Chain A
């Protein structure tokens, strides 16, 4: 009669796991949602306001209009973010700001630059080259797939005279 014994042991083990998971839930610190939100708002907002300043700079001193100035602005922000990442400054700000530094395009550049720097010891091809998009890759993949689906739907709807 070994079968009921094992099922009994199994049940006990399951109970233990359940109790453990409940304890983990109790002990795990809850994130300070409101404070994190305020930090993300302030830092993210500042980055965007700074981006607006760069955009205005390109519109006043170069031949860009409101629509086209976005591209050089993004490139400039990415340059600054990559350099700040190399100096270790961006990640310090990121520890404070959370999504405030992750959501702007600077966070995208930060994830690429930090992966590139981190894997540099493995060589430029196998380290830097193949790990650069380790974190940013999912953003590009899902962005492109979503854009393809959305573009397909839009084109078909317009094509059918919608």
Chain B
């Protein structure tokens, strides 16, 4: 069952991205930025966590969860250390994603040559 909800919710978030690309003249970079900001705002109003509880990877795999995780790290650290925690905590949760992307991206540049 959790696979079904992950599939449907994750798929629907992708459809939102596809519609933004097809129905407006926004570039993919604009659409991704909008989705990340949307994730951050949804977490700010407390709606993203319930979505993760419902959809699991359907909510954590799309890029919207990046915005959610940024806000989450900032708020957790702000709770402990006050307002400066927003700055120090922003990358706390997303560290895995950013580090992995840099490390494996670099690794792929070492291993592979451009195609075409």
Contacts and interface: CB of A to CB of B under 8 A. Distances in A.
A42 B18 CA distance: 12
B6 A142 contact: no
Interface residues of B, number: 77
A49 B32 CA distance: 21
A143 B74 contact: no
A121 B60 CA distance: 35
Given A85-B108, A102-B32, A140 B18 contact: no
Given A109-B101, A109-B105, A87 B17 contact: no
A147 B18 contact: no
B36 to A, nearest CB: 4
A54 B6 CA distance: 12
A83 to B, nearest CB: 7
Interface centre among B14, B30, B33, B112 (most CB of A within 10 A): B14
A153 interface: yes
A100 B21 CA distance: 12
Interface in A22-52: 31, 33, 36-37, 39-49, 51-52
A7 B76 CA distance: 63
A39 to B, nearest CB: 8
Interface string B43-78: 110000000110111101111111101110111001
Nearest to B67: A143
Q: Is the interface of A mostly helix, strand, loop or mixed?
A: helix
Contacts of A116: 105-106, 108-109
A151 B68 CA distance: 11
Contacts of A105: 61-63, 65-66, 97
Contact of B104 (A109, A152, A155): A109
Interface in B1-28: 2-3, 6-15, 17-23, 28
A47 B57 CA distance: 9
